[in-house]
Copies of this chain bind each other. A is one copy, B any other.
Amino acid sequence: MGIVLGPNQYGKSENRVVRVYRDTERHEIRDLNVSTSLRGDFEAAHTTGDQAGVLPTDTQKNTVFSFAKETGIGSIEEYAMALAEHFVDQTESVSAARIAVAEYSWRRIEVDGAGHDHAFTRTGAETRTTVVTVGGTGADRRATVVSGVNDLVLLKTTGSEFHGFLTDHYTTLPETADRILATSLVAKWRYDRTDVDWDTTYRSVRGLLLQKFAEVHSYALQQSLYAMGEVALEKHPEIVQIRFAAPNKHHFLVDLGPFGVDNPGEVFVAADRPYGLIEAAVQRDDAPAEAEEWHW
């Protein structure tokens, strides 16, 4: 029986890169949180402390910042791809690189009805995300792109029912024909190609998810999610799978009866914990097997 090194990766996490485009008086801003991970032959670093093959995480950080200027940030997918390819191509010990990016969004401050040239305010806690993984050389080169949105908070005040469920000895939940349905959505969709108009596709998928959430008369959060995933796949042949992690943010109707007050679906308490958690993928029936990145 021997003891050996198993799966491993290392990198620099949460580099907070802010890139300003100021070629004209009308500035643009990209605000990112970038994490790198390198995989390869790092056995000596673990077993003997020999760092000869290890590109320091500090160097990875420098590269992340320098590429924000050298290649610029056209879309987070292109920027991540450039970084991942750089690490794989330029570092002999590296067999694969995984670059994760979250983007915070800003909008221009309105002054006299028009957006200001260089003053901005943050919009929402929501972030746009991507994870780009590049590995292999020559004909074996493989790049996977999984993009998504984090913390997209959605709520419907009606159009949501929950009944007909399985019951057992521990069931006390009453059925309901009208409830609030709310979630803070994490969605990730996997592309099967890389010649994609990333920004346009992101806006389209995000819009489809929102619209379908609004339109579905829901009998379960699972059903809403499936319909949202389905429409994204229908409209975007470049996407082969979409995965959701959706907390069911419970809003409980408050019993005002003891105070002689009727409450027909008007006053709710928003609960913190526990919460339901629905995790589901919707995919093409010929989707290639999942990459490691896809696991929860």
Contact = CB atoms under 8 A, between A and B. Distances in A.
Interface of A: 1-22, 27, 29, 31, 35, 37, 42, 45-59, 61-63, 65-66, 68-70, 90-91, 93, 106, 109-112, 116, 118-126, 152-159, 162-173, 180, 207, 210-211, 213-215, 218-220, 222-223, 225-226, 229-230, 233-234, 241, 243, 247-248, 251, 254, 256, 258-259, 261-263, 265-287, 290, 292, 295-296
A243 B6 contact: yes
Given A49-B220, A91-B168, 18 more contacts: A1-B286, A5-B282, A8-B281, A11-B277, A15-B269, A15-B273, A37-B277, A55-B171, A59-B167, A59-B171, A63-B170, A65-B269, A66-B256, A118-B156, A118-B159, A121-B154, A122-B124, A292-B295
B172 A285 contact: no
B3 A282 contact: yes
Contacts of A234: 3
A234 to B, nearest CB: 7
Nearest to A174: B58
Nearest to A286: B1
A155 B120 contact: yes
Contacts of A180: 18, 20
A236 to B, nearest CB: 11
Contact of A2 (B27, B120, B210, B284): B284
